Every structure is written in C-alpha cells, then in structure tokens.
Structure 1
C-alpha cells in the first residue's frame, strides 16, 4: 500500500490505476478499442476526436474488470463501524482511508460480476449500500467481500491479507450471533432482512474470492431457512426482499446443480415455489438477471426432480421433465415476455416488456443450456454427437460468438459453458468455450473459471480416448455406450459431478 493511498483524505480517490488499454474516447464510452494509431476504428466510425494518454506507451498492460464510478453512493460522513475500528487500526493504518478504499472497490469492482448492465448495477448497489449504511452487520460483510476481492489484484500487500482475514472472521461471527439471536426471539417479532443480505454477501465471498464450497453450503442453507421464515411476513422494503429472492435463487439453483444432496432443498423449495408463483412481478423488478430469472428457477426445478427421482414414479418424473422441455422450446410459455433490442432498462411496448440485447443474449444462452440439461436427463445414454444435441450446441456457440469478451455477462456464464462444454465434440467448439473461460478468468481472477477449464479438459480427454478405443467397433454402437458426463461405467449424473467448486 502506498503512502499516498493510505494517507489521502479524499473519499472518492481510487488507490490503484485502471488499465490504460485503448484511447480516451473508447474508455469514456466503455467501448472496446482496437488501438489503431493515430485514430482507432471506433473513433473513425463515430467521427470522434481520438486522443491517447501520454503515458499509455509506458503503462504496463493489466486486465481489470470494467469499473463504474459509484463512490458517491457512500455518504462522505460515513465512518468505520465502531465494532471494526479497533481491529483495523491494529495494523497502524489510518482507519478512514482503509474504509474508503474498500468501499470504493466494492462499488466500482466487486459487485460487477452480478450485473449485466450499468442500470442494473446501480439498482443492485442501491439496496446493498442503503442497507449497509444502517447495519453494521451488512457493512461487515461488504468490507469482507471487498477486501478479499481487492487482494486478488493487489497481491503485494501483506497487510491487506491480514485485514481481509480479520474482516471475514468478524463478518462470520456477527452473522452467527444475529442468527442465534433471531432463533431465541419470539416468533411474532418482526424479522429484518438485513441478516439475509449479510448471509448472501458471504455467499458471494465464498464463491468468488475463496471458491470454498464447504463454507458456502452452510451459508446457503442458512439463507434458505431465513427466507422460509419470512415468506408469510410483509417486508418493510418490498424491493429489497425481491432483490434477495433473486440473489438467493441464482446462488442456490446453480449450487444445487452439482451439490444438491448437500443442500436444504425443502425450505429452499418453498422459496422457489413463491418465486414461481410471482414470476411476472419478479421479472418486472429483476435487478440482476432480467428475464433469465425464470430460467434460474427452471434449473432448480429440474435439479429437485433429479435429486428426488428415486422417490418419484418413473412416468411422473418423465412427464414433469417433458413439460419443462416443452416450455424451454417455447420460451414465451416460460416467461410470457417478449425480448428484443432496447436500452439497458426494460420498457413497455404495447403491453409487453421489451428487454435489452444483453438480456436477450443471456436468456438465450441459459435457455439452450437448460434444453441440453433436460435432454440428457431424459435420455442419459444420448451421445454428445447426437444431431439434436449438436444443433443446440452450435446454436449456443453462435450466440456466444456475438458476445464481447469483456462483457459483464461473461461473469455469470460458467454454468452454461460447462453444460454445453460437456457436449462439445469439435475442436472449434471446445476452443471457443476454453478461450471464453480463460479470458473471463483474467478479468475476474476467480477459481471457478480455472477449475471449470480443468474439468472440461479432463472430460474431453476421456472423450478422445473413448473414441480412439472404439474406432475398430461399429460407430453407431459406440455413440450410445458413451456417457458424456464421465467414462463408461462411471454413471456420473449432473447432481454428483466431481466438481470442486460451484458454478456461480
């Protein structure tokens, strides 16, 4: 940590420098620059004045996520929580600059993985910031998330590592204490949503900073229980409750995909049932995923069927999945919404909601992945080279090719990339998926992406070995002996894939 960053009294100052890739106009417009000198292609097309920083040539190239200036969201008079003051000053660093540095990083960087447009990013931060300002519990979790995320970029600051660990310990201790207090209180006592937000922020921390599944699962189960207890109560802030439902459903559904038996599916199921019953309202108010929220709910429903398959009649199991497959093939039956190109914020058009292009892209990528997921459950022996599967894979690849590599959408595409990747049989398909995961990791520095890459390489290697060993046999026969989720005889199913991390 430099003396300048530690001693500055300017709340909005950013203690690290943004990447200097591209001209000033492209960076200001948040557009990808082709860096053609003296005038880049974007400025040429848009008849803009193209200027380059004097120190661009001497600036080392670093990959950082795109940041939006949101420092003004935090009140200038905000001081470090009294409970945290003694801990942070142990390191002989002024407490206020540390607070400002972590809060600035949270609003400008660590929350962007979950927002697919600047408009939604602001709404996301509005609820987190407004809650944290009035809740030391939520503030502790915000600081823990921010410190650990910042540590991935500022690797040469040992004091930041100590601060990060202490902030995490403080956050977990406060969450545990508040949950115990809630359990000990009378049942008719009003329940605050602050604690739910705090637990979900810890879920963000466990997945994107440490990628520790063993610590994530208890947080998710706690969130499911807390939300279940609030289903019959009227929230003081309806929009905050809606936001919590959306954030919870994303984390829980994609974690249940690979770790379903370890999760509390019964209380979570009640939450998802309410989300499904209120799907129209949630889609209208969605702050994170737009219309794709309906697909996240579908993923959970399918996973719940798979986990409970042993206790269901086989005919009922297949009929329920067939209904879901039909809905996925006719997406308007799933969302009762129209998608089309628009601005960042969805708007009404002749009684229908029209979403942005990013909304449409994300929805289509998840829809195609869900179809592959359901098809493989309905027919576990289907080979990846199956014509219908390959049509879905190629459609996914075509859609993915239209998405820029630095788009915020890439941060929430690990699940679709894995599901489609398990059926990627051509070199071109595999290279595109691997390149997208690699590029996203360089921006987000999260082990989710590297672990997914390693897992897919292993699957593809087994696939190549299987094909080679079957070359002397009948090709058609080999197709249906191969299980795309593991080598022959392994009987991997989606809910027990040997994944070390979750896919959120």
Structure 2
C-alpha cells in the first residue's frame, strides 16, 4: 500500500514562498524537497499512547529578497489524521487534534536560547495551529528553518552514489539520492589491490578521498571482502562484513542534525556492504601492523555498529540499571545480562525489544526525559514482532527463540512503563502459544540455563498476571498447561531463579487456586471436589518451606509469597468483615498479620523488593486497618524511588482505590482494575 503524500499542497512546491510571522517576519523560498517521512498511525495505537500520527518533510530553502545566497534547511512537522480517517469530515478530524513537541524542535529551540556555537543556528520558527480546512483542524504544525553547515557529508544532496560507494541495484531497489536528484547513475568496475606477496593478510589501498587506488586489479567487491576477512580477523569471529556497516544517509533526513524522533530507529534498513581491512604494512614491523589494525577497528568499531549514540546510551542503561532493577538478586549472575545480551548480537528483534524496555525504564526513572523515543522504539518492536509472527511456521530454532524472547521482554516493558491498558495480556497469550514449540521441540538445542530462565520468565509473568483477570475467565488463555507441567518439573530440582527466587513452587499454586475459584464462582455451588481440592491446596501451601540453599532474604520473600497465596486461597468465597467473629475471619487476619510481620523484617530498599508487588497487592487488599495500609503505601513509594519500575506506583494507586471504595480481598483486584481503568499485570518485576 502506497503511503499518503501529505506534502502535495502547492505551498510546498519548488519556488513557493514560506512566511514566518516572527519578530523578523522572514520569508524563505523553497529550492528543493529533500525528503519526506510519513508516520501515520491508527486510532488504537494513538489512543493507547503507542504512537503519534504525524508527517515530516525537509526542504532546501533560501532567504527571499536577500543578497545572501546561502541555502538553509526547513523542516516541517505536522499532525496528520489517523489511518482510515483521511476523508472524514473536518469536524471529525478536529477531534483528533492534540499538542505535541518533537524532540528536534525542542532541542533546536534550547540550543538557540543557550547561544550554542556547535549546532546549526535556528533562523526562523513558526509553531502554529492547523486551520479549519487543513488535515487536522486544531492540530499542530511546526515549520523551522536552520543553518546549513558547510562541508560534505554522506548523502548530502550534491553527492552522487559513486562517491558514496553504492550501486543503484545494491541492497535496495534504487538509490534514494538518484531517485531524488535524477542524475545519471553509473558505477565503475570494482577494483582491488593485488594481494601482498609477503604475509597472509590482505589490504585494500584507499586514498584520502575515499576512492580505491588505481594500482589494482578488477575483482567483485564481495570476493574482495571475503579475502580481506582472514581466519584470524576479529570480523571472522563476529560475522560477515555485510552486517557491520550502516549507510546513515538513506533513512536519516538529509540535514546535519540528528532527529531524535525517528532517525535513530532506522538501523536495520541501513545495513550496507563494506570492505574492512585487517592489514600489516610490508614495510613496517609486525607490531606496527598490529597497531594499524587496532586503529582501524577503533575508528570503526565492529561491536553493534547499528547503535547510534542514543541507542548505545540505552543499551548501556539496560546493562547498568534496567537489568539490575528487573532481577531480584537471588542468584550471583544476572540472567537478563548473561542469558539475553548474547542474543542481541545475532538478533535485531531481541535488541529492539531490550532497547524499548530500557527506554521505558529510563523514562520512569527520569520523567523529565521525553517519552517520544520510548514510544517510537516500542512501536518499532511491535511492528517487527508482527512481521516475525507471520513467518513463525518456517522459522529456524534461532529465529523462533529470538521471537519468544522479544515477546517476554515486551511483557516486562509494559511493567517497566506502568502499563494501564492490559497490553501485557496480549503478549502473554501470544507467548504461550509459541514458547512450547521452542522449549519442547528444540529442547536439546537450547542451553539448559537459558531454557530454565525462559520457562521461569514465562511462568512468573503469566501466573502472577492471573489475579488481574475476572474469576470466570479461563486461565488457559494466558497460562499454557504444557509449560506449567515443565515448571513443576523444574521446581522439583530445587531451582532458584532471579525472578522466582526459591518460591517457584508457590507461584505454580496460583493457577490452581485461580482454576478452583473460577469453577466455584461459575457453578455457584460447592461440590465435594471443590472441598477436596481446597483442602489439598491449603495443606500443601501450609507445609511448604524455603529451600535450604536459599539466602535469608530470598527465603524471607518466599515465606511472604506463601502467606499471600494462602490469603488468595482462603478468600475465594469472599473476605470476612472486620467485626466478624469466625474461624474464617480470624484465620485471614492472622495470616495478614504474619505477612506484615515478615515484611517488617525486610528493608524496603533491598533489591529483592523487585519481586514484591504481587504479594503486596494481595496482602494490601486484605489489610483492613489504616496502620497496615500506611505501611504498605510507604513501602511501595520507597520501592518506586529506589528501583524505579512504573508498576510499583501503579500498584500503590490500585490499592488506594481498593481502600477508598471499600473493596476487600484479592478477588476484588480485577474489579478494581476495571472500575479504575488501571489494567496492570502484577508480575513480579513490577
């Protein structure tokens, strides 16, 4: 489907005059249209906060009626209608109007106000509202003109594909520079330097201008590239060179300024072929040749070169902060680093998901940072997932594994950003249908540690999310029975994980309790099977003790989970009133008090509190006294301030709603979510 051209209006034709009603009342003439971006989104993505529906274009302009012949750049951002509403009435389209400030606009204004000398000067800006007959009446439209920096850069509008070392038929159907500027695109024969007769290393003689030396013989570039990467080259260990050079020019706007709204998202479309040398000079000692090799690698690093500065910062934030916030510290190694990061080297899908999670976490910890990059990365991850899911039947083990990991990472991304729309349940449902194929079909091909971690990852997320569902729903919708059976086998080995600690067996009771409650409430009648199942679950839970290998804090949290699941079981038929003198009421309050006592033994600043949102929600819903409620509120605030995951504050908001409305018991949590419209998963990383 062809994208809509939102800049077809005559006012954007070459020769048109654009006025800026600022203090200088400047006017600029359009000399060329350089590029256009269409980020039109559908209603669901916009209303759920996943995307912004807008279009942008870049023009080369010159100041009208001026002796200054220098060109400048004009960037236009404007809100556009949702997909499918382009031909709706202006009244309907006006309801979509919403303000938004793009990062590039904010950055340019900030640099200009600070008098920056190292960024393009902002020459004119017009932040206006669209008219009644425009695309989105009342929506925003921003035009800004900024300085064109002297010099030559990749994909500048005067540079031909010959200079850029790119064929029109290489990698993409056409070269965007040729399409835009319509020059005669001719490509000379590939030439390479004859291999050196001394030594096994080979090199490609490149002049300062970027052209190959004329003292060479003809050879296809692919063959030259293969020859250049020797068996001892670092590139041979990391993959083929084709994976490690990205043509920044094609998908960035053709201006010497980074657009944080969208340019940093276009790495995988920009991968091009490159020849990288690992050579020793015949005239120099071996040590000098090695130094030269190291210098080349330093100048163009081969570790994830698709990461620009923003993405690299997010990658570092994930390693330093996000991964440590998610893991509860039950084990010495962090599987979110040890098990997942190696997958990012070979899978762009996993890398995108991890970057989106890191960006969401950073936005929660530092609210002053705009959420636009987070939304863009999240949307890109979803688009990549949809593409991968369409070909799931024909995927290899590695591809299927990457798909599963990306789905699970997105579940935790929802938790990190404080999902209130229930998106996590969609991810869980999809994961539950694909993960068994990966873990069972390729059981012997996946390393045991990674397989156990992915199983733990899924079970913890899916089981702890059940409490958010209505009791008459079927838990099989998000909990796969085959994977639950695999989880029971894993628990019998005494498994201790960085998500479930020593209490994986306790978590596996949750789907059983949910099944019992669903059946009990749905049938509205008590049967002998219900009583027997209830008694068996209560006995097994009461007799559970933490594994002897668990540390004190891990064992303590395991006991807290035990009390919370017991409360979940005992309140299937409802919570007793505070003044009810009954065995049931006394038992519930005793367990609640024991749980509160255990919580007091664990400092709220400890990393293992990462796992406490689910039991805190259950215990909090059973806490009838203000003193207990205040302690839980304070704890959640401290956890959010220390760990910084979005669902911690959302859990606090949910409990405050439960207390204010007089709702009691964990089986009222789903009702509270529905009424307060806070659809969160109480997965353990919350």
Q: TM-score, normalised by structure 1?
A: 0.68
- Count, aligned residues: 384
For 1:218 and 1:84, the matched residues in 2 are separated by 35
In the other structure, the counterpart of 1:100 is 312
Aligned pair in 2 of structure 1 residues 213, 240: CA closer, same or farther (>3 Å)?
farther
Q: Relative contact order: is structure 1 or structure 2 higher (C-alpha 8 Å, sep ≥ 6)?
A: 1
**CA apart distance, 1:327:** 1.0
1:368 aligns with 2:543: no
**CA apart distance, 1:275:** 1.1
For 1:127 and 1:438, the matched residues in 2 are separated by 31
1:358 to 540, 553, 556: 553
Structure with the larger helix share:
1
Which deviations, in whole Å up to 9, do the C-alpha atoms of 1:5-38 show, x marking residues without a partner?
xx9xxxxxxxxxxxxxxxxxxxxxxxxxxxxxxx
Which deviations, in whole Å up to 9, do the C-alpha atoms of 1:148-193 show, x marking residues without a partner?
21122344444xx33222211221111111111113x28x978732
For 2:246 and 2:519, the matched residues in 1 are separated by 45
In the other structure, the counterpart of 2:431 is 223
For 2:656 and 2:621, the matched residues in 1 are separated by 10
Matched residue SS, 2:440:
coil
1:122 to 326, 330, 334: 334
Matched residue SS, 2:340:
helix
For 2:247 and 2:647, the matched residues in 1 are separated by 30
Structure with the larger strand share:
2
1:204 aligns with 2:412: yes
In the other structure, the counterpart of 1:280 is 492
Matched residue SS, 1:111:
helix
For 1:292 and 1:269, the matched residues in 2 are separated by 19
For 1:328 and 1:358, the matched residues in 2 are separated by 20
1:484 to 640, 653, 664: 664
In the other structure, the counterpart of 2:173 is none
In the other structure, the counterpart of 1:168 is 378
Q: CA contact under 8 A between 1:422 and 1:459: conserved in structure 2?
A: yes
For 2:621 and 2:386, the matched residues in 1 are separated by 39
1:426 aligns with 2:639: no
1:380 aligns with 2:574: yes
**CA apart distance, 1:497:** 4.5
Matched residue SS, 1:325:
helix
Q: TM-score, normalised by structure 2?
A: 0.51
Which deviations, in whole Å up to 9, do the C-alpha atoms of 1:332-390 show, x marking residues without a partner?
4xxxx633xxxxxxxxxxxxxx211121111011001111111111x425335622222
Segment of structure 1 superposing worse, 88-97 or 414-423: 88-97
Matched residue SS, 1:143:
helix
Matched residue SS, 1:383:
coil
**CA apart distance, 1:118:** 7.2
1:214 aligns with 2:426: no
In the other structure, the counterpart of 1:241 is 451
For 1:394 and 1:189, the matched residues in 2 are separated by 49
Map 1:2-41; keep pairs closer than 5 Å. Answer: none
Matched residue SS, 1:240:
helix
User: Structure 2: any 5+ residue segments left out of the alignment?
Assistant: 1-106, 112-117, 119-237, 253-257, 265-305, 580-584
Q: CA contact under 8 A between 1:256 and 1:495: conserved in structure 2?
A: no
Map 1:13-412; keep pairs closer than 5 Å. Answer: 90-91=259-260, 96-117=308-329, 119-120=331-332, 122-158=334-370, 161-183=371-393, 185=394, 192-233=400-441, 234=443, 235-259=445-469, 261=473, 264-265=476-477, 268-281=480-493, 283-284=494-495, 286-309=497-520, 310=522, 314-332=527-545, 338-339=547-548, 354-377=549-572, 379-380=573-574, 382-384=576-578, 386-412=585-611
In the other structure, the counterpart of 1:438 is 637
**CA apart distance, 1:263:** 5.9
Matched residue SS, 1:232:
helix
Aligned pair in 2 of structure 1 residues 190, 363: CA closer, same or farther (>3 Å)?
same
Aligned pair in 2 of structure 1 residues 404, 305: CA closer, same or farther (>3 Å)?
same
When Rg is computed on C-alpha atoms for both structures, the one with the higher figure is 2
For 2:418 and 2:246, the matched residues in 1 are separated by 24
**CA apart distance, 1:277:** 3.1
**CA apart distance, 1:146:** 0.8
**CA apart distance, 1:410:** 1.9
Q: CA contact under 8 A between 1:220 and 1:263: conserved in structure 2?
A: no
Aligned pair in 2 of structure 1 residues 308, 190: CA closer, same or farther (>3 Å)?
farther
For 2:558 and 2:247, the matched residues in 1 are separated by 41
For 1:190 and 1:98, the matched residues in 2 are separated by 27
For 2:527 and 2:669, the matched residues in 1 are separated by 18
For 2:478 and 2:355, the matched residues in 1 are separated by 32
Matched residue SS, 1:284:
coil
Map 1:484-503; keep pairs closer than 5 Å. Answer: 484-485=664-665, 493=668, 496-498=671-673, 500=678, 501-503=680-682
